[in-house]
Amino acid sequence: MKCNSCERDTDDFPCMHCGSYNVLDKGFVRLVEFMGGDRAVVQAARVSLGQGLKTPERDRRLIHYLMEHEHGTPFEHSIFKFHIKCPIFVAREWFRHRISSFNEISQRYVEVKDEFYVPNALRRQSKSNRQASEFAEFENEKELIELIESAYGKSYEIYKELLKNGVARELARIVLPLGIYTQFYWTVNSRSLMNFLRLRMADDAQYEIRQYANVIYGIFKEKMPWTAESWLELGKKKP
């Protein structure tokens, strides 16, 4: 399999070359930097009493107590920085999580690549939730997916023609659809990250952003196992 980030062949993920995880058909999640961890949460909580780390058992119990009683600020002392590649419509949902920092690639400065999200299965509008969808069988699904690809191809062809004729990148981009891929860096503390995961791993979250959230949860669990365990045990509670 090829890594969507470094485009090298790899047998396993995270990619042995760049450490990224493939998501959807062309996207990825890569942890760039991490600071803190479970012990940083404990240190931040105990400083109010002029104390620090104790035994692993007591430190673990403290994290559970903080989570259960919604003492959230100590969780802000563990920081994740991710490199994300996703379709623009996914990024627009992502950017609603404002207690974090984003820097996105600029279509004003960079010529956009011919990279579009093509779903491998289609969904119908949910009958019980106006904002949700559900997978269903379409007799003409192959033809409908080809329609999506055709629209992508035409819009990108027009985009390139506009550039060829001297139209500025910042204006030529207006013909590009929401399915085109973008990239951004996302820096977030573990408190805000848990809020993101609580909302975006939910059953009624859009399928595409759920795929990213599931991968990020795996990274969160690896880096902060005590916090992740308490968070799950307490029903993905907002600390």
Task: Show which residues are catalytic.
Answer: 200
Q: Spell out the residues 6+ positions from residue 102 whose beta carbon is closer than 8 angstroms to its own.
A: 94, 95, 184, 185, 186
What is the arrangement of strands in the sheet containing 181-189, beginning at the earlier edge strand?
20-23, 27-35, 79-87, 181-189, 101-104
